[in-house]
Chains A and B, each alone.
Chain A
């Protein structure tokens, strides 16, 4: 169990490509931190730097109080679960789990005890003598986790461990990982590009974009109080509605419509209004008029997509709006609806910089 600290960590590849631009982060003992961001944002690179699989160009990484920049991966006391499991194909499950311990010259009885414990915890005890190619994806994933657990490391690192599983299994394993991490209380870093996974697993999550941490905090904090346009658009499913607007001193103007209830915004700049699909309500006094394009029925709720009349998006297409409604609201295609929202629940961002103004 340990804290992990990143101080001004940077990564520049030998060919000059910069991957990480000065990340500062403090991860507490026993905390589950999720790095989330789009492909190529540097989240995996950052994780691999903690693991020791990538070198640190500048800055410091500390586990506990130990500076580990130049410590070899095996001596960092971290264990990693890989996306494609990375099980040794020619070794049995037991062989896979014991390999790291044998390399550490651990006592045979102790190895056996740890394997038995971990296998029981992960419910893979009946597979111990099988080869990885005789296991299903979910079972392989458990073995990969077992291999990490037997090491009894100070930090667990997960690199998109669930992305090779089918949707149902993914949800199930997600819950198990969370439970396991709670029970073992080991500091963990988890990388994913799936924002649902990020929201549900994380104690805190770090949204990473183009090699920088855009915002770090508890999932709900990021959802309800995003600091930038990127965070607002990345977190939340269905995605937030973003409407290009300008401010005329008293209200926001978007195409033909004007929305009151805002103040203190710059007049001469392109702005973006962000409204989450779940704060929109159907009301005749609503600010937005939409014509329904599509209704997705999810069982408990319906997602209603429509084009906003009077506004066109930047590319000239109709501006899409999404509304999250209860399952009994089922409008027909092309039906006109009016949607309202409370200005306090909406965000306004500066378009060019992405900074949040309100």
Chain B
């Protein structure tokens, strides 16, 4: 190993502190009593109310209607994140498979149309999307929350590029081996895309978990709230209610909301990096 100059370390340490300090402050503050926070502001060292706060947030029903706990919201967020990620991977793999391996009329223009939807983020089409979902009677359902989001230009594009790099001879060999179109997809392409699938699953889980605007307008009942919305709701209570502001709960929810994506990335980072780096043939 080469000796790295000390200045490099210092820059790295400052960068790391810069990234992690807010998280630490949020955590430390969440373990104090609301009175302390109100009186003294943000806390840099953990207080004595860890169990109290987290127990209350996780298991005591709160919110405007006093109907929802963080556990419920965690569950909802998890369903959204996982459903979103799996849905995106399945849909975009199938779309990319069709685009790369089947010669059909308008295949190329269709691909570019899909690709161009990248230019139209959800925010732009949120009213028509809402209209469609509302007319289908899917408001306040998990299906309505997930399905409109799973069409993915990014995923389709990644898989398309990957499939294009798979040598044609593999397809030809499989055809001679009597593989059907479906068989080639399941037996050859899916296993070859393993690391790619893992990487996209992870990215999409995090993206799905962090969805804010869509779940916000899609859910009206508190028991359908995701964690990210829950945080927002608590702040709203803080501002409007006459009670003592529950800052520690808001921070606890924030910490809870960051944990799952962090865990997913930590646990699967080996696959994740492999999927992004590897050009496996």
Q: Which residues of A contact B (CB under 8 A)?
A: 51-53, 72-75, 78-80, 82-84, 86-91, 99-100, 103-104, 147
Contact = CB atoms under 8 A, between A and B. Distances in A.
B172 A82 contact: yes
Among B167, B172, B178, B192, residue most surrounded by chain A Cβ atoms (within 10 Å): B178
Contacts, number: 62
A80 B172 CA distance: 9
B173 A84 contact: no
A47 to B, nearest CB: 11
6 contacts: A79-B176, A90-B194, A99-B179, A99-B187, A100-B178, A147-B173
A37 B108 CA distance: 35
A88 B170 contact: yes
A88 B188 CA distance: 7
Nearest to B280: A89
Contacts of A91: 191
Nearest to A78: B176
A90 B193 CA distance: 10
Contacts of A75: 178
Contacts of B167: 84, 86
Contact of B177 (A83, A90, A99): A99
A201 to B, nearest CB: 22
A74 B172 contact: no
Interface residues of B, number: 20
User: Chain A at the B interface: mostly helix, strand, loop or mixed?
Assistant: loop
Contacts of A104: 178
A52 B178 CA distance: 12
Interface in B156-196: 167, 169-170, 172-180, 183, 187-188, 191-192, 194
B9 interface: no
B171 to A, nearest CB: 9
Contacts of B191: 90-91
A56 B280 CA distance: 34
Contacts of B179: 74, 99, 103
B39 interface: no
Given A89-B192, A90-B191, A99-B187, A82 B177 contact: no
A115 to B, nearest CB: 14
B192 A51 contact: no
Interface in B178-218: 178-180, 183, 187-188, 191-192, 194
A74 B173 contact: no
Contacts of B105: none
B125 interface: no
B281 interface: yes
A89 B176 contact: no
Nearest to B170: A86
A90 B192 contact: yes
Contacts of B176: 51-53, 73-74, 78-80, 100
Contacts of A100: 176-178
Contacts of A89: 192, 280-281
Given A53-B175, A103-B183, 5 more contacts: A82-B173, A86-B170, A99-B174, A99-B177, A147-B177
A270 B187 CA distance: 61
A74 B188 contact: no
B178 A103 contact: yes
